[in-house]
Chain A
Amino acid sequence: MIARTLVIARREFASYFATPLAAVFLVIFLFLAGLFTFNIGGFYDRAQADLRPFFQYHPWLFLFLVPAVSMRLWAEERRTGTVELLTTLPFRLGELVVGKFLAAWGFTLVALALTAPVWITVNWLGEPDNGVILAGYVGSALMAGAFLAVGACLSACSKSQVIAFVSCVVACFLLLLTGFPAVQDFFSGWAPRAVVEALASMSALIHFEAMVRGVLDARDLLFFTSVIVAFLFMNALVIDWKKAL
């Protein structure tokens, strides 16, 4: 079962590098991560040996870049008709969904790993708490994973990559900000109190910021893992449902 999942992940991962997408994504991600950290985040001015300015902007970077990674996962398969080939090979639906997700996640982890020079720099300049930085990286990886799961699910809903991209940006934006006043006000007028409170605890931004502060709380880990599992489950349902049409 794991072997078959990896067969899918391997093909999908390689497909990122078969087009300029991988290079474009990596260059833009690294450029913007650097720009936000050093210019906008004021990395040097703060004169503190930590990576807060680096991680602080990750949610906003991921908001636009992660949907670009996830948008083609299923939309492209559906547009070219290869989804028919894929689903008639001896794979379980779960293996296809997880395999594709792992490939996309693996790709974003490569992007994150390439930011290592920032981490090396801060270690060279001072004595940061590397535990906190590690927690930040874990948080960043999990948030990217959650966005990717949302994106994969939305990619399965449409044959158009553009629709998949735009709907993913919107969905991830809501996921980031559910705990914020503007979003809360929208719901508090009419939704039951329990729903409003549940939404407040579902803000990806709040969970992410807790992790960047260096606190690896089980609730934050559970939040991101549940988002990933829930959206991958929905992804499988959508694939199964859509092919019937």
Chain B
Amino acid sequence: MNTITRRAGARATGGLLALAILAAGCGRDAAQAPEQAQNVTTGKVTGEVTVWAMGEEGKALGTFVKDFESANPGVKVNVTAIGWDVAHDKITAAIAGGATPDVSMIGSTWSGELAKTGALDPTPGNLVDKAAFFPGAWQTVELSGTAYGVPWYVETRVLYYRTDQAKKAGVQPPKTWQEFTEFARALKEKGGAKDGFQQSYTLGASWQEVLPLIWQAGGEIVKDGTYTFDTPEAVTALKQYESLFKQKLAPTNTAEGAFPQTFIKGEVGGFFSGPWMVGVLNNDGGPEFKDKFDVAPYPKGPVSGTSFIGGSAMAVFKKAKNRDAAWQFLQWLSEPKVQAKWYTTVKALPAVQVAWQEPELTADKQLAVFGEQLKDAKTPPPFPTWEQVARVLEGELEKLARGTQTPEQTAKSIQSQADTIGTGL
């Protein structure tokens, strides 16, 4: 899997089962009123809590929970690590079969779909404070005003660039769209990045790079409960996206998997991606590469410099055998100290704002860029159909990047397909 697209790729496998689950849920009243969250006990809890968590986090969480267990004698947390590829299918199947764990980690765009099955327990207001989280992160767990679960960690996209090439070209990280285009041109013409700037255009990640552009242009992809892709703002964003390809500042012939080696070799001078790329670059580039790249916030568009926020949440299932302990476990995960310690464990960025004041996080200069960017970051709507619409975006964006359709046609085409798919609510 391409490193730049990992989460999106992992989620893409979910489509088939999602449909099956939705079909299974048809018997229920589709237009249900917003659910009311039930309070949970804040007192002493005991018993076992089963937790599913994906990938590295799943492996690391098993030992990480020891602190929670020693703080709450009598509680045993059983963590099962599951692979990202299968997580969505596994959770949806578990819901259909009524064989859910107490708690599961969920991808940031899954909440809507899972909540709609009626299997998730609304977040109790007496235990979790919404204001403690980054607003964009809280958005990922909220559906029609009700929160299902708690954001656990976040990631956001920033600009990565080759400092050596920027220095050679005599340019600073761009602050605006205009500066950005000039920045990419300078890297290519003077800095030595022969292919210019890495901009995604194939299946997997391109939509995650275009949504920020739409937001930066002042557009919204959802308004009054419907998708709105065919707006002047979206067209402005698509034009900005297209311009890089048109001016030959971004390659459209990158071989699958060639990136990020192309960046390490200096063939491309920059790209937009999430915090995990720091680790990937340090690892693949070797010790001497560490000083050759840096990160900077998104350049501002006509309206803002909004980025994309992703990450993962933790949710409790209604069928949880140990509801009180499950929610207290989630509350513990959201404590600033625990969030900071979790960062040192797997480098997952805290979703809780004050956790960024902890010494573990203030020490790193590159990290501060992500912390700053998180204050202005949005997420796609938690609609059950979002994954389907994302695939449409990817398909249409590739056509745009390859020059077979104009930005206006692209916006229209995305809109009409999104209309056909609907929001699924």
Q: Do A and B come from one complex?
A: no
Query: Measuring CB to CB, which residues of chain B are less than 8 angstroms from any residue of chain A?
Result: none
A contact set with B: CB distance below 8 Å: none
